[in-house]
Amino acid sequence: MKIIRLLLALTVALTLTSCGRSGESGHSSSRKVIQNKGSDTLVNVAQAWAEAYRKINPNVAVAVSGGGSGTGIAALINGTVDIANASREIKPSEMEQARANGHTPVEHIVGYDALAVYVHKDNPLEGISLDQLAEIYGEGGTLEKWTQLGVEVPGCEKQEIIRVSRQNNSGTYVYFREAVLGKNRDYKLGSRDMHGSKDVVDLVQHTPCAIGYSGLAYATPEVKMLCIEDGQGNCVAPSEKTAFDGTYPIARPLFMYTDGEPTGAIKAYLDWILSDEGQCIIKEKGYAPVREVVCEGDAQTGE
């Protein structure tokens, strides 16, 4: 009884105070604000776009937040963002929820991301096949030790493979599962699930036994990227080029979702993102553009 009274008192107090303020004033609209939220993979590019767009059109301001692809899509379903960033496709269930709430998500591909497989820089391994990755990460997988892959990792005491993964509302997590494990296979339990793309690389950098997956854009000179073997003697290293031409097997499109076909300022912003200028920014950040673009400084950043 006491608890019910307490809750009642709380709600009444909150409702009263908030209602008093809600009628205060309308939105100030000298400036158009675009709310942009979602994927941690895309957040740095989204930030760079927002930063650069301020110079293109000072009357439009893009506010960027991260949180994960799931967070962005949820916000679109709730109608609290204009553009949701996602590093995976929207799920049918999410589509339904959005429709039920009166929103129609429209998909735009804004770039491609190669998912690199990282190991410690002392690890002698050079390449790995998708099957091997599945045996390392997948439920019931048999690969537990580096020695099973034919290497001995210096500094890794028991040669046990420490799997670094992502939290489950991450688009990277979902995509890696689909591309490597297959739709119906789950991750093996006991992985370290990191909260950001950068955290994965940081942990791998400091852990000799570790293997992890994260966007190519998060590569640093302190970690090693494995090439992916196709079983026919070829080993494809992740790069913007191999992501774009489809030879690298774990590359994925990066999406922006809008509510309905974009119009006005949102359309202008998306058009600009897909223009040469916008695509050069995503390229500079280490992702692959949606088409070939020639950018300033290409000479020194080329493969």
Partner 1 sequence: MFKATELNLRNEQREKRWRLLFLLMALLLILPVLIILILLVYRGGPVISWSFLFEFPRNGMTEGGIFPALLGTIFLVVVALVFSVPLGVAAAVYLSEYAPDNWLTRTINLAIINLAGVPSIVHALFGVGAFVLFFEFGTSILAASLTLGIMTLPVVIVATRESLQAVPHAFREACWALGATRWQTIRRIVLPNAVSGILTGIILEVSRTAGETAPIMFTGAAFFVPFLPESVYDQTMALSLHLYTISTQVTGVPEDLPFGVALVLIGIVLSMNALSIAFRVYLRNKKKW
Q: Report the interface residues with partner 1, using CB under 8 A.
A: 2, 5-6, 9-10, 14, 17-19, 21-22, 24-25, 27-28, 30-31, 33, 35, 40, 43-44, 46-48, 50-51, 53-54, 61-67, 78, 80, 195-199, 217-218, 220, 285
3-state secondary structure (DSSP) of residue 125: coil
Q: Residue 187 is encoded by which pair of tokens?
A: 């991750």
Residue 33 or residue 293: which is nearer to partner 1 going by CB? Answer: 33
Nearest residue to 278 via CA among 270, 217, 286, 34: 270
* 80 or 234: CB nearest partner 1: 80
In the complex with partner 1, which residue's Cβ is closer, 138 or 196? 196
Q: 109, 146, 138: which is closest to 270 by C-alpha?
A: 109
Please name the residues in contact with 181: beta carbons below 8 A apart, sequence gap of 6 or more. Answer: 134, 137, 138, 139, 187
SS3 of residue 123 by DSSP:
coil
CB 31 within 8 A of CB 57: no
Minimum distance, C-beta of residue 146 to partner 1, in the bound complex (Å): 27
- Amino acid in the structure at residue 128: I
89 neighbors 110 (Cβ within 8 angstroms) = no
Q: Specify whether the CB–CB gap between 120 and 207 falls below 8 A.
A: yes
In the DSSP assignment, the letter for residue 178 is I
Q: Pick the closer one to partner 1 by CB: 159 or 169.
A: 169
Residues 181, 248, 223, 299: what is their CA dihedral angle, to the nearest 10 degrees?
Answer: -160
Q: H or E segment at 60?
A: strand 60-65
Please state the closest distance from residue 295 (CB atom) to partner 1, in A: 16
- The nearest distance, CB 154 to partner 1, in angstroms, is 26
CB of 245 to partner 1, least distance (A): 25
